[in-house]
């Protein structure tokens, strides 16, 4: 069997990095390496926190849980963070942006010229470059360098950024698109149309052992509690036991307990101790916390307006969903008073994860996706296609000029790749040392 060469390109990477897409990328990279299905590298930045984009981790090569990771600095010379924030705030307020302003928003996202230089120089040594998630500058610009080797793993939500011209252009320009769930792929078709390289793969989860009593004895909690696990952000719709971290302050209330960021066995024990997990977010493409909760033995309660999580609970019969506070209150009363129902829902959820999201099934789907993209690439080559797969109409959608006045470095479909400024003020294309893809 062919052993593929794959690079996962993700803005942040590491066990200390909090984020669903980042965790999905880490899981796949580790499993590809362990299974030897592919020789997988991770190409990422030196950043831990996406709210600051500060370069904190060392540049160059490291090995994280057996995976070869290459880190590149984020450029803070050309990026106008204030302009980005102004455009971002207009977007989340629902104010329309012109086409130029949409591309300007992308342009002032986080970028790494050193990463782009590596992709341009060494990208052809990989079979596929998988960019995850869709939202950040490294995905927009990086995927435009070698679009016929690029696969978009969008982790797509029905949010304002998904409706922008650059997002639609990137979706059509990439050779392949990798979805986590059927509802996510259905959303993409609704927003952008069908993609010939669209494949549903998802991410896998291993069986686990968790001890809720161990957590309760350590924490001193003895009664029933509802758990929220994830980032504390307003778009997570979070409601009282909170496990995670983020920019949103924790409300001061005697019934709300903030546990902070938990990892490993300690996190799993919290799931097992929970009476139920509440996942109120309406922006999910998979929801790792639901899968982990089911595997640890807790049922889930999700928001009816999230098609992905609602589909999980309907298909699995592993939880219930609510749309407003009255429904939330009624369902919570039902579950708190009915332990046999909670146990049955949790068992159904565990069976669902073990059947559909075990690593063997996921890697089988990934192998099929690789073969499908290979056939698509060969067909495009035979037809004499060159460059981007973007349509002429999309290619005409222009990007903005560089705010620093430097000569633009253009990728496919007019996307500009920022150069990196040297100490003497000149611009250059940095070419980092090449990872040994044959190792």
**Digit-coded pLDDT (tens) for 363-410:** 999 999 999 999 999 988 777 654 443 332 333 333 322 223 333 333
Residue 38 lies in a domain: yes
Residue 130 lies in a domain: yes
Question: Three-class SS string for 315-364?
Answer: HHCCEEEECCHHHHHHHHHHHHCCHHHHHHHHHHHHHHHHHHCCHHHHHH
* Mean pLDDT score, 353-367: 96
The verdict on 227 and 312 lying in the same domain is: yes
Q: Please, which pLDDT band fits residue 411 given cuts at 50, 70 and 90?
A: very low
CA–CA separation, 127 and 176 (whole Å): 12
pLDDT value of residue 239: 39
Residue 219 lies in a domain: yes
The verdict on 423 and 286 lying in the same domain is: no
- Identify the domain boundary among 307, 324, 357: 357
Q: Please, which pLDDT band fits residue 319 given cuts at 50, 70 and 90?
A: very high
Asked whether 176 and 4 are in contact (CB, 8 A), the reply is: no
Percent of the chain surpassing pLDDT 90: 64
Residue 353 lies in a domain: yes
Residue 434 lies in a domain: no
Long-range contacts of 163-167, Cβ-Cβ distance < 8 Å, separation of 24 or more: 163/191, 164/97, 164/102, 164/105, 165/99, 165/102, 165/103, 165/397, 166/102, 166/103, 166/106, 166/140, 166/415, 167/134
Strand 150-152's sheet: what is its strand order?
60-64, 67-72, 38-45, 4-9, 128-131, 150-152, 176-179, 198-200
Write down the residue that tokens 């019969």 correspond to. Answer: 317
Q: Please, which pLDDT band fits residue 262 given cuts at 50, 70 and 90?
A: low
Domain count, the chain: 2
Residue 70, phi then psi, degrees to nearest 5: -120, 125
CA–CA separation, 326 and 136 (whole Å): 37
Region label for 20, one of left (φ > 0), alpha (ψ between -120 and 50) or beta (otherwise) = alpha
Q: Please, which pLDDT band fits residue 251 given cuts at 50, 70 and 90?
A: low
The verdict on 118 and 104 lying in the same domain is: yes
- Identify the domain boundary among 325, 357, 389: 357
The verdict on 59 and 178 lying in the same domain is: yes
- Is the pLDDT at 252 greater than 80, yes or no? no
Long-range contacts of 228-231, Cβ-Cβ distance < 8 Å, separation of 24 or more: 228/277, 228/278, 228/279, 228/280, 229/267, 229/270, 229/271, 229/277, 229/289, 229/292, 229/293, 230/20, 230/279, 230/281, 230/289, 231/18, 231/19
Q: pLDDT tens-digit profile of 83-112?
A: 999 999 999 999 999 999 999 999 999 999
CA–CA separation, 35 and 208 (whole Å): 19
Which tops the pLDDT comparison, 345 or 210?
345
pLDDT value of residue 221: 76
Which residues make Cβ contacts (< 8 Å) with residue 9, sequence separation at least 6? 42, 43, 44, 115, 119, 129, 130, 131, 132, 138, 139, 142, 143
Q: Please, which pLDDT band fits residue 24 given cuts at 50, 70 and 90?
A: very high
* Mean pLDDT score, 200-226: 84
Does the predicted TM-score (pTM) go above 0.75?
A: yes
Which CATH number belongs to the domain containing residue 135 in this structure? Answer: 3.40.50.2000
The boundaries of the domain holding residue 392 are 4-204+360-428
The verdict on 133 and 170 lying in the same domain is: yes
* Mean pLDDT score, 254-282: 78
The verdict on 222 and 314 lying in the same domain is: yes
Which tops the pLDDT comparison, 208 or 5?
5
299: three-class secondary structure by DSSP: coil
Angle between helices 307-316 and 182-192 (to 10 degrees): 150
The verdict on 147 and 198 lying in the same domain is: yes
Q: Please, which pLDDT band fits residue 240 given cuts at 50, 70 and 90?
A: very low
pLDDT value of residue 16: 82
**CB atoms closer than 10 angstroms to residue 203:** 24
pLDDT value of residue 420: 38
Cα–chain-centroid distance for residue 207? Answer: 22
* Mean pLDDT score, 129-135: 97
Pairing relationship of beta strands 150-152 and 176-179 according to DSSP bridges? parallel
The verdict on 45 and 183 lying in the same domain is: yes
Long-range contacts of 254-261, Cβ-Cβ distance < 8 Å, separation of 24 or more: 257/221, 257/225, 259/219, 261/18
Longest dimension (CA), the chain: 71
Which tops the pLDDT comparison, 246 or 125?
125
- Identify the domain boundary among 324, 357, 390: 357
Residue 274 lies in a domain: yes
The verdict on 31 and 144 lying in the same domain is: yes
* Mean pLDDT score, 149-169: 96
pLDDT value of residue 438: 33
pLDDT value of residue 254: 60
Q: Please, which pLDDT band fits residue 361 given cuts at 50, 70 and 90?
A: very high
Residue 239 lies in a domain: yes
User: Taken in order 330, 335, 337, 340, is the CA torsion positive or negative?
Assistant: positive
């Amino acid at each position: 069997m062919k052993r593929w060469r794959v690079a996962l390109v993700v803005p942040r990477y590491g066990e200390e990095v909090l984020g669903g897409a980042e965790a999905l990328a880490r899981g796949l990279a580790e499993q590809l390496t362990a299974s030897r299905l592919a020789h997988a590298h991770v190409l990422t930045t030196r950043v831990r926190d996406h709210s600051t984009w500060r370069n904190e981790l060392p540049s160059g090569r490291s090995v994280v849980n057996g995976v070869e990771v290459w880190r590149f600095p984020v450029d803070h010379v050309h990026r106008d963070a204030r302009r980005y924030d102004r455009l971002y705030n207009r977007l989340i307020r629902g104010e329309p942006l012109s086409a130029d302003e949409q591309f300007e928003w992308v342009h002032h996202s986080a970028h790494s010229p050193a990463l782009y230089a590596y992709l341009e120089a060494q990208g052809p040594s990989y079979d596929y470059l998988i960019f995850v998630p869709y939202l950040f500058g490294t995905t927009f610009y990086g995927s435009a360098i070698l679009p016929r080797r690029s696969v978009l793993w969008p982790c797509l939500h029905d949010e304002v950024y998904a409706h922008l011209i650059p997002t639609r252009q990137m979706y059509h320009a990439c050779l392949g698109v990798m979805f986590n769930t059927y509802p996510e792929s259905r959303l993409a078709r609704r927003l952008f149309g069908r993609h010939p390289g669209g494949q549903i793969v998802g991410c896998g989860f291993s069986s686990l052992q968790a001890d809720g009593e161990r957590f309760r004895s350590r924490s001193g909690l003895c009664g029933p509690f509802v758990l929220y696990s994830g980032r504390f952000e307003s778009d997570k719709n979070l409601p009282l036991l909170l496990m995670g971290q983020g920019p949103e302050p924790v409300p001061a209330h005697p019934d709300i307990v903030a546990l902070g960021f938990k990892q490993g066995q300690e996190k799993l024990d919290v799931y097992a101790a929970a009476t139920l997990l509440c996942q109120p977010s309406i922006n999910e493409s998979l929801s790792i916390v639901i899968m982990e909760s089911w595997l640890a033995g807790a049922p889930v309660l999700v928001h009816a307006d999230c098609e992905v999580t609602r589909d999980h609970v309907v298909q699995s019969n592993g939880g219930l969903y609510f749309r407003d506070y009255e429904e939330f209150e009624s369902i919570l009363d039902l579950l708190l008073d009915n332990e046999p129902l909670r146990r049955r829902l949790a068992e159904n959820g565990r069976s669902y994860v073990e059947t559909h999201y075990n690593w063997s099934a996921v890697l089988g789907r990934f192998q099929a996706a690789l073969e499908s993209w290979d056939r698509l690439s060969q067909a495009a080559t035979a037809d004499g296609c060159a460059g981007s797969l973007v349509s002429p109409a999309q290619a005409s959608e222009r990007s903005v000029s560089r705010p620093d006045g430097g000569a633009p470095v253009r990728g496919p479909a007019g996307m500009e790749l920022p150069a990196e400024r040297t100490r003497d003020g000149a611009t250059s294309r940095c070419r980092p040392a090449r990872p040994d893809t044959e190792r």
